[in-house]
């Protein structure tokens, strides 16, 4: 099991990177596309301000790029080795996988990005921003 206190816990369970208690995104269901990318402004438990500085989450683009490339490579390997598709034929499964996983990679890239800057600190509970 993934334990509270690890960055993976915060990333996989949509939790605040500092206290691992409050929710990060408003909606837990990634398929409610109208709300899936809405974030809380602050953590409801420890008060951490998620938008650390203006346009902080532009950096998540790089994480998203990395996730997308990794998925494309994995899909390419599966479609060429597993299904004997040619390079051109493998474009269809690659594009399909990237479209289907786009909501996940967008959400994960944001929460991974903030986890690069904010560490687990349960003692901050109840404290307001600093
Ligand atoms: Zn928190």
Backbone angles phi, psi at 23, to 5 degrees: -75, 150
User: Which tokens sit at 55?
Assistant: 């346009």
Q: Is residue 41 part of a domain?
A: yes
Q: Is residue 12 part of a domain?
A: yes
Q: Is residue 1 part of a domain?
A: no
Residue pair 50/114 in contact by the 8 Å Cβ criterion: yes
Centroid of ligand 1 to alpha carbon of 57 (angstroms): 18
- Burial (CB count within 10 angstroms: exposed 0-12, middle 13-18, buried 19+), residue 54: exposed
Q: Is residue 88 part of a domain?
A: yes
Instruction: Give me the pLDDT at residue 106, please.
Output: 92
Q: Is residue 47 part of a domain?
A: yes
Q: What share of the chain is helix, strand, coil (3-state, %, to 5)?
A: 50, 5, 45
The pLDDT of 2-27, averaged and rounded, is 92
Q: Is residue 2 part of a domain?
A: no
Centroid of ligand 1 to alpha carbon of 27 (angstroms): 16
Centroid of ligand 1 to alpha carbon of 99 (angstroms): 31
When pLDDT is cut at 50, 70 and 90, the band that residue 33 belongs to is confident
Centroid of ligand 1 to alpha carbon of 34 (angstroms): 24
Centroid of ligand 1 to alpha carbon of 49 (angstroms): 9
Q: Is residue 97 part of a domain?
A: yes
Centroid of ligand 1 to alpha carbon of 25 (angstroms): 12
Q: Is residue 101 part of a domain?
A: yes
The pLDDT of 107-130, averaged and rounded, is 82
Q: Which residue segment(s) compose the domain that 48 sits in?
A: 7-124
Tell me the whole-structure pTM to 2 decimals. 0.86
Instruction: Give me the pLDDT at residue 34, please.
Output: 83
The pLDDT of 58-81, averaged and rounded, is 96
What pLDDT, in 10s, does the model give residues 83-112?
Answer: 999 999 999 999 999 999 999 999 999 999
Centroid of ligand 1 to alpha carbon of 17 (angstroms): 7
Centroid of ligand 1 to alpha carbon of 56 (angstroms): 17
Number of domain units in the chain: 1
């Amino acid at each position: 099991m993934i334990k509270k206190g690890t960055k993976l816990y915060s990333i996989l369970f949509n939790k605040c990177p500092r206290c691992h208690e409050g929710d990060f995104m408003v909606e837990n269901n990634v398929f409610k596309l109208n709300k899936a990318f809405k974030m809380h402004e602050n953590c409801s438990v420890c008060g951490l301000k998620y938008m650390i500085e203006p346009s902080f989450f532009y950096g998540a683009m790089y994480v998203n790029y990395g996730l997308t490339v990794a998925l494309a490579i994995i899909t390419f390997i599966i479609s060429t080795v597993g299904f004997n598709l040619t390079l051109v034929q493998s474009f269809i499964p690659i594009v399909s996988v990237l479209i289907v996983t786009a909501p996940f990679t967008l959400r994960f890239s944001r929460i991974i990005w903030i986890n690069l800057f904010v560490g687990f600190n349960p003692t901050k509970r109840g404290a307001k921003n600093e």
